[in-house]
């Protein structure tokens, strides 16, 4: 179901999808086109980072940026995205430099400005993306403006319901996060989207319907010139 700007790669499993993503990254590295890599978190990305850790891919000349981070929990908390990245990738694959928003910043708005400035100074070559069940990309929930840059966001009930499974019983999941905006994401030269499982079908169907709507933020990708969607869904 390729469109002019969207290439779709259908795979049999998340593991095969992870191999495809690593292959795309290898191509860009070997061609000298990958200097800044945007990273995502969540269960979708775990097999990708597992393949990366086991590979001979060299990221020592690559700078990494993460899409988002929870507000109010420190980087040492096992559910922070800083912890996730260290655990799943950075501890075994060193990068030239890694950046992630500081969810413990005293001034969250100033932190967003700082992060967006860093992004402008280090243009993204590739950005990894997962897709939320409600079509969100990063923590850009339905209704987010396409002009949005890195900002503070109140998470929706559906996102909280999905992500709360990762928190221990009795722990309160943050309801606020910092996230790259739609505009921030769209600045990347290439977007690699991973979407596995039936729960992602509705969002992908909206994307491939070909109509841009803020109610399904994933559809903003229709306006990007170079998108690769890797999925195990037959649409």
| Pairing mode of beta strands 6-10, 36-39 | unpaired
* Cβ atoms 191, 127 nearer than 8 A: yes
Active site residue 141: yes
Question: What is the layout of strands, in order, in the sheet containing 227-231?
Answer: 6-10, 227-231, 190-195, 126-129, 36-39, 63-66, 97-99
Active site residue 136: yes
Active site residue 87: no
- Tell me which of 69, 101, 136, 232 is the catalytic residue: 136
Distances (CA, A) of 98 to 24, 85, 86, 101, 115: 21, 10, 10, 10, 12
What gap in Å lies between CA 51 and CA 205, rounded to an integer? Answer: 28
- Tell me which of 141, 151, 163, 232 is the catalytic residue: 141
- Tell me which of 28, 68, 101, 111 is the catalytic residue: 68
**Alpha-carbon radius of gyration of the chain:** 16
- Tell me which of 111, 116, 134, 163 is the catalytic residue: 134
Active site residue 125: no
Residues recognised as catalytic: 68, 134, 136, 141
């Amino acid at each position: 179901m390729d469109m002019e700007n969207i290439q779709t790669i259908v795979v049999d499993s998340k593991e095969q999808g992870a191999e495809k993503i690593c292959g795309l990254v290898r191509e860009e590295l070997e061609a000298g086109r990958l200097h800044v890599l945007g990273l995502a978190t969540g269960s979708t990305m775990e097999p990708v980072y597992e393949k990366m850790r086991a590979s001979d891919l060299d990221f020592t000349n690559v700078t990494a940026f993460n899409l988002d981070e929870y507000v109010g929990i420190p980087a040492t908390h096992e559910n922070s995205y800083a912890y996730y990245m260290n655990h799943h990738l950075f501890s075994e694959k060193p990068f030239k430099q890694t950046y992630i928003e500081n969810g413990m910043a005293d001034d969250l708005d100033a932190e967003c400005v700082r992060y967006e400035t860093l992004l402008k100074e280090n243009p993204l070559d590739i950005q990894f993306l997962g897709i939320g069940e409600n079509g969100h990309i990063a923590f850009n929930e339905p209704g987010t403006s396409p002009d949005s840059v890195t900002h503070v966001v109140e998470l929706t009930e559906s996102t909280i319901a999905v992500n709360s499974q990762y928190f221990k019983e009795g722990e309160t999941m943050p309801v606020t996060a910092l996230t790259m905006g739609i505009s921030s994401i769209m600045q990347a030269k290439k977007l690699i989207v991973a979407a596995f499982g039936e729960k992602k079908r509705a969002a992908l169907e909206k994307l491939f319907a070909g109509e841009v709507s803020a109610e399904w933020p994933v559809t903003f990708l229709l306006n990007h010139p170079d998108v690769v969607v890797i999925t195990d869904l037959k649409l």
